[in-house]
A and B are shown apart, each in its own frame.
Chain A
Amino acid sequence: MNKLLAALSLTTALTMTTSAAFAEVKIGAIFDLSGGLNIYGIQQDQALDLAVASINEAGGVNGEDIVVVGYDAQSELSKYTQFAQTAVLRDGISAMFAGLTSSSREALRPILREANIPYFYSSLYEGGACDRNTFVTGSSASQQLSILMKWAVENYGPRVYIMAPDYNFGTISGYWIHKYAEELGAEVVGEDYLPLSMTDYAPTIQKIQAAKPDVVVAIPVGSAQTGFLEQFAAAGLKEDIGLISTNYGSGNQQIVVSPQAGEGYMSVMNYFPSASGETNAKFLAAWEEAYGTDTPVVTGSVDVWNAVHLWAAAANQAGTTDTDEVIAALQSGISYEAPNGTVTLEPGSHHLRQNMYIARGNANNGFDIVETFTDTAPTFENEICNLVDNPDVVEHFTPEN
């Protein structure tokens, strides 16, 4: 009986796969739908589904419907490699959309390069990834910090304190803060790199007071950030010291933080829901219809949305989903009318030239956009990485080397 059942299910599975081979193109998706990182992963996945639905509605890719093969990485690195192998070897995907942390990207990158499948990484990160098969639609640390540091020194003053998590996102961001501070004639008066699981911010808050900065760049990750904000505000430091960040809001931290602590916290990002423009209004309407209004859209979702649309546009332009031709199309200076304005894929660095917004946390757990910087280039990546001329480079560049 058991054997019969197994044989039956096998035949059904086979018929299903064969029938699925008609007029469909498969893409892989691996995001953290459970575990600690799911504050980002769930929305990334929702954005992917929404983008695929909108493309299919408009006629699909070269007349074929996109089908998503999705996996839950459970916030574990080993699951990323495992599911990427499965997606490549079994599912026969034409493109991969996956990953949140830099370590997940670095785990996935070799697998998709080996399989020669385009891979889209959609998250803000420290910058510097350079690989012919990898395309980055989030913003890089230098892209954000060049703008934010200038604004902060002009608006708060020249004494800067760095408070960052102790891994490559934090330390590389630290490097850029030092570099831009120097260029702007400002001074880094103190810095503290914290373990990721930190909940005790009292020592940092004392050190900040001892250093007497004009502005603190605070970029702890995820829910740890909110604990720091509450203590910083409750200690009464907000009146005298500005607080800026490149990741505040990326996981909707502004919802968790109480209004009295979050108001006035400055963030720079390539998307805020309050961005102007008709494309954004349409995007938000579609999002709210699908997922409701409970959780504001985060930047990572728009990054995924843009990635899927850029890939589909490239595949349509190439007239095929064949990897080499799609990559050639992606390297043709392709651009897309995105919720965050026009985004253009830089042919050499595979990073996005896109709008940057400086926004201020308001009293209603949201953001008010203070200034918009259109068409900001990923300068560091463009300088260091040219995949058109050197397609064989595989490197994660850090500014020090």
Chain B
Amino acid sequence: MELDFLATVLLSSLSSASILLIATLGLAVVYGLMGVINLAHGEFIMVGAYSALTATQIGLPFLLAIPFAVVTTMIIGAVVELLIIRKLYGRLFDTMLATWGLGMVFNQVAILLFGTVSPGIGMPQWSFKVGDYSLAVYPILMIFVAAVMLAFIYLLMTHTVYGMKARASIQQPQMAQAIGIDSSRVNTMTFAIGSGLAGLAGAILLPIIPATPSMGLFFAVKGFLTVVVAGPVTLTGSALAALGLGGGASVTASFMTSVVGDVFFFLVTAILLWLYPMGISAKWRRKL
């Protein structure tokens, strides 16, 4: 096998893993810090994608459309937390059911608002060459974006008052309340941040994955499996799981067929969950 092929496989697999991680981080934050499985996560990504699309259509440059999408999804997330999630604390299955239904509502609202086909914004037509192989720049850029998102969440959780309160609320809920942390307000914030991260994913991946009402489905399954495999240490766990599962599947697909790549993803997930029922990070001593 030629060296240039190996190099492109490595780069594009890293990019695949990063895309998976970008789409998963919001879910991981909400699950890790609130214990809530948000089955509408894919639809929040969709909302982010349509927000960014709408922003570009009214003339905003793409770089400004991204923060617009983040703010929109954060507001929607906060409202959803106040109206629905808050009533269902500690009822894992009820929350799953409620958010699943919410996802269906979002999906149908998107169809009513935007119809079934909307013009995409296209991918920047930049490419570079590695030996004989040509690679599109934008997907490779996602490696950098994923790294920045990871660093941002890490700093948010470790170096801000909100982050400390959020971690206290999930690790020692009674103690946190006893010392005066308003855990419900912290939770609203956490859910809004999780939604905002989903919105960011939808917006920044828009050139790669065009906005369609049902696009949430593409991310839902693999995103959830990644978070479940990651386990309680949200950030490091998710990054590692995305790298192993997403990157591994991409490498497999490059050398064999795309179907085998998918089989790899699901098979390795099954094996990991069999070996580590609570996720790979269950016994780690890290907290993030």
Contact = CB atoms under 8 A, between A and B. Distances in A.
Contacts of A35: 214
B239 to A, nearest CB: 18
A256 B258 contact: no
Given A195-B258, A236-B134, A365 B119 contact: yes
A344 interface: no
Given A252-B117, A255-B117, A206 B125 contact: no
Contact of A235 (B15, B134, B209, B250): B134
B160 interface: no
Interface stretch (B63-71, B90-98, B108-116, B169-177): B108-116
A398 interface: no
A251 interface: yes
B282 interface: no
Interface stretch (B5-13, B145-153, B188-196, B269-277): B5-13
Contacts of A39: 116-117, 212
Nearest to B138: A234
Nearest to A294: B115
B138 A204 contact: no
B65 to A, nearest CB: 15
B257 to A, nearest CB: 6
B244 interface: no
B116 A203 contact: no
A193 B215 contact: no
Nearest to B220: A197
B134 A259 contact: no
Interface in A230-253: 230-231, 233-237, 251-253
A227 B119 contact: no
A197 B216 CA distance: 11
Contacts of B117: 39, 251-253, 255-256, 295
Contacts of B210: 223, 226-227, 230, 256-257
Contacts, number: 137
Interface string B227-269: 0000000000000000000100110011001110110000000
Given A198-B258, A209-B133, A226-B120, A203 B12 contact: yes
B35 interface: no
B18 to A, nearest CB: 11
B136 interface: yes
B158 interface: no
Nearest to A35: B214
Contact of A258 (B116, B122, B139, B259): B122
B16 interface: yes
B162 interface: no
Contacts of B12: 202-203, 205-206
A233 B127 CA distance: 9
Contact of B139 (A195, A202, A260): A202
B120 A203 contact: no
B217 interface: yes
Interface string A205-227: 11101100000000000010011
Contacts of B108: 34
A200 interface: yes
Interface in A259-306: 259-261, 294-295
A223 B215 contact: yes
Interface string A15-47: 000000000000000000011101100100000
B30 interface: no
Contacts of A294: 115
A199 B19 CA distance: 10
B4 to A, nearest CB: 10
B120 A256 contact: yes
Nearest to A222: B212
A200 B125 contact: no
A234 B126 contact: yes
Given A34-B111, A234-B127, A252-B117, A193 B122 contact: no
A226 B259 CA distance: 19
A39 B19 CA distance: 26
B127 A236 contact: yes
Given A194-B259, A206-B9, A235 B136 contact: yes
A199 B120 contact: no
Nearest to A75: B214
A42 B116 contact: yes
Nearest to A202: B12
B111 A230 contact: no
A206 B5 contact: yes
Contact of A194 (B19, B124, B254, B258): B258
Given A227-B208, A256-B120, A261-B122, A200 B259 contact: no
B215 A200 contact: no
B258 A202 contact: no
Nearest to B16: A200
Contacts of A203: 9, 12, 250, 253-254, 258, 261
A261 B123 contact: yes
B135 interface: yes
Which of A166, A199, A204, A237 has the largest count of B CB atoms less than 10 A from its CB? A199
Contacts of B207: 230
A230 to B, nearest CB: 4
Contacts of A204: 253, 258
Interface string B2-36: 00010011001101100100000000000000000
Given A199-B208, A230-B210, 14 more contacts: A42-B116, A193-B258, A197-B221, A199-B19, A200-B249, A203-B12, A203-B254, A209-B132, A234-B125, A235-B134, A236-B127, A237-B134, A256-B210, A365-B119
Q: Which 8 A-B pairs have the closest CB atoms?
A: A258-B122, A234-B136, A202-B12, A203-B253, A36-B214, A203-B254, A236-B127, A39-B116
